[in-house]
Structures are given as structure tokens and as C-alpha cells.
């Protein structure tokens, strides 16, 4: 298992669920649950990256490392890049980006995305995908799809149904993959990424990983059949997670 850190970007702004990172789940803020799950992985360190002093205070109260960052970062990756600079990490340090709304994330999935990047020296990023089993998800723009090449690297990510099955009869042969929003990077790539302009497809799709593809960087994708529990985007999601954790 390679050495790696986990950084969890978190901000209070959320349109569908305001103040989401501080949402109470069983007496603890959601961001604390995420960090505690990440600590069950093989990460050498887990810390939250935020521009919110309220989130920082919640982390400190629960003995979670936290880095305070600027408020103007357009993406979580940009926020993590600032943390890498704050910590003056060596160029080849592996950092896993765990989303702050994943209180049920399997620790082994965190390990796997780090291992995938360690095993892919020509790639700048690694991430995860799972086969889509529900037909309604294929055309759901909230479900991000990814198409891979024969090396298991990403060709493109989209909110549209890709690959598009032109002939109805060919549809049965198409495997659609759902992209999961967990990434691993090396510090030297993060320093480069932070200086890249937002790419046109990134802006159109609102998918930050397209900035890397647009600029010629390769993304290794670990495909697993074990889809993790869904994260928290809505009040209904929050209630579902509360019930799951209450019954643990």
C-alpha cells in the first residue's frame, strides 16, 4: 500500500442542502463522520480543507485536523492544491480527495484509488467508476458517466449518456459506467492544475476533471462492481444516512 494523505474539501455553500458539512448526524457534524471514515483507511493523515471558521471549529472540537484556505477556489481540487502548498509536501506525495458529503464512504475504496494512481505512473489522476445497473441513471444529468480506453483510462466524462448507442439493437452491448467523485493526485500535478485556466468542456459540464483531460493529462480509472452507498445531496439523503448510522 503506498503512503498517502486524505484531504476533504468542505464549504458551507450548498443550494440543495444549506450548511451541509455541519448537518447533524447522530450528534456529530457530517464532515466529522466523513473524516472518521477516512481515518479507517490506510491514510497517513486525514485533514479537512475549508474556508469556513465554523467548519474548522467543528473539526477541532472532534480532534480532526483542519486547514483554513482561501474562499475563492472554484473547485475542491483547487482548494486541495492550496493545502499542498501550505504543508510544503514533496512533489510525489499522493493525496486522495474525499468528498465532504460521503459519510458512508468505504475506507477500502479510498485505499484503492490511491493504489490505482501508484500503479499508474503515466497518469496524473486516478478515480473510480461502477457499472450503471438502473436504466433511468443513463439519461440522468446528475449521474456522471465516463468512457474508458483499452488501458482503463478516461476518454471523457459527461452528464450525457455516453457512449451513445446509435442503433437500438446495439444498446444491449453497451456498458455504461458511473463516475464516483473520489480522486487521487500527486502534489506536482496539483501545483500545475491550480495554474490552468478553466477549460470550455469543464465549464459546460461543470466537471472539474475535464480540465485535466483538456490539457492532455491522463486519468486512470479503477472499475469496481461494488457501488458504495450514495452521498448526501438533499434533505432526503440526509435522513437516509441518519437512519443507516442510527442502526449501525
Average pLDDT, the chain: 92
Residues 241 and 207: their CA atoms lie apart, in Å, by 25
Picking from 226, 192, 197, 4, the residue whose alpha carbon sits closest to that of residue 98 is 4
pLDDT of residue 133: 87
Residues 172 and 192: their CA atoms lie apart, in Å, by 41
Picking from 33, 20, 22, 5, the residue whose alpha carbon sits closest to that of residue 97 is 5
Domain ranges for the chain:
4-228
CATH T-level assignment (fold) for domain 4-228: Spore Coat Polysaccharide Biosynthesis Protein SpsA; Chain A (3.90.550)
Give backbone dihedrals phi and psi of 39, rounded to 5 degrees, phi first: -70, -15
pLDDT of residue 218: 98
Confidence band for 15, pLDDT divided at 50, 70 and 90: low
pLDDT of residue 169: 58
Residue 38 and residue 45 in contact, taking contact as beta carbons nearer than 8 Å: no
pLDDT of residue 22: 95
pLDDT of residue 56: 96
Amino acid at each position: 500500500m503506498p503512503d498517502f494523505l486524505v484531504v476533504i474539501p468542505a464549504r458551507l455553500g450548498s443550494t440543495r442542502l444549506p450548511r451541509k458539512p455541519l448537518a447533524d448526524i447522530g450528534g456529530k457534524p457530517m464532515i466529522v463522520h466523513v473524516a472518521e471514515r477516512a481515518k479507517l483507511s490506510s491514510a497517513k493523515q486525514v485533514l479537512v480543507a475549508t474556508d469556513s471558521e465554523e467548519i474548522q471549529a467543528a473539526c477541532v472540537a472532534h480532534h480532526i485536523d483542519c486547514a483554513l484556505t482561501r474562499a475563492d477556489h472554484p473547485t475542491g481540487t483547487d482548494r486541495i492544491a492550496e493545502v499542498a502548498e501550505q504543508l510544503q509536501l514533496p512533489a510525489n506525495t499522493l493525496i486522495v480527495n474525499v468528498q465532504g458529503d460521503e459519510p458512508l464512504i468505504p475506507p477500502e475504496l479510498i485505499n484503492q484509488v490511491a493504489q490505482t494512481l501508484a500503479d499508474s505512473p503515466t497518469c496524473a489522476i486516478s478515480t473510480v467508476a461502477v457499472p450503471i445497473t438502473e436504466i433511468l441513471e443513463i439519461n440522468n444529468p446528475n449521474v456522471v458517466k465516463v468512457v474508458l480506453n483499452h488501458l482503463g483510462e478516461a476518454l471523457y466524462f459527461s452528464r450525457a449518456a455516453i457512449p451513445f448507442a446509435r442503433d437500438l439493437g446495439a444498446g444491449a452491448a453497451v456498458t455504461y459506467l458511473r463516475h464516483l467523485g473520489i480522486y487521487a493526485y500527486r502534489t506536482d500535478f496539483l501545483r500545475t492544475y491550480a495554474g490552468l485556466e478553466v477549460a470550455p468542456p469543464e465549464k459546460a459540464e461543470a466537471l472539474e476533471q475535464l480540465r485535466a483531460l483538456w490539457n492532455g493529462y491522463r486519468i486512470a480509472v479503477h472499475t469496481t462492481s461494488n457501488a458504495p452507498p450514495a452521498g448526501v445531496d438533499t434533505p432526503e439523503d440526509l435522513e437516509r444516512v441518519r437512519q443507516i448510522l442510527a442502526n449501525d
